[in-house]
Amino acid sequence: MALPQPTEGTRWRCTLCGNLTRFDVTRSSRVVEYVHLDLAGEARVEERDVLSERIESVRCRWCDAVDQVELVDRPGAGS
């Protein structure tokens, strides 16, 4: 189940327990990173460009329901 990211006007809500705040999100992404290695070999990502990203599943942290999350309007988003 691919679920869209919440926007400024929407948020996630578990349809089973009503949770609005705690979720485990599994996502796939393709990224290009500019990695800088110092002389000791320690790596640091200095730039990150996300080429594509897809949410594979969302699990509710409260009731452990998998893929029972929907997008709902945020309060006051229409104002």
Cα–Cα distance for residue pair 19/16, rounded to 1 Å: 8
8 Å CB contact between 16 and 60: yes
Beta bridge partners of residue 75, listed in sequence order: none
The pTM for the full model equals: 0.71
Query: Residues 42-73: pLDDT tens digits?
Result: 999 999 999 999 999 999 999 999 889 999 99
Residue 12 reports pLDDT greater than 90: yes
Read out DSSP for 44-67? EEEEEEEEEEEEEEEEETTT--BS
- Here the tokens at position 28 are 């796939």
In a domain, 17, yes or no: yes
In a domain, 25, yes or no: yes
Q: Which domain holds residue 26?
A: 10-73
Q: How many domains does the chain have?
A: 1
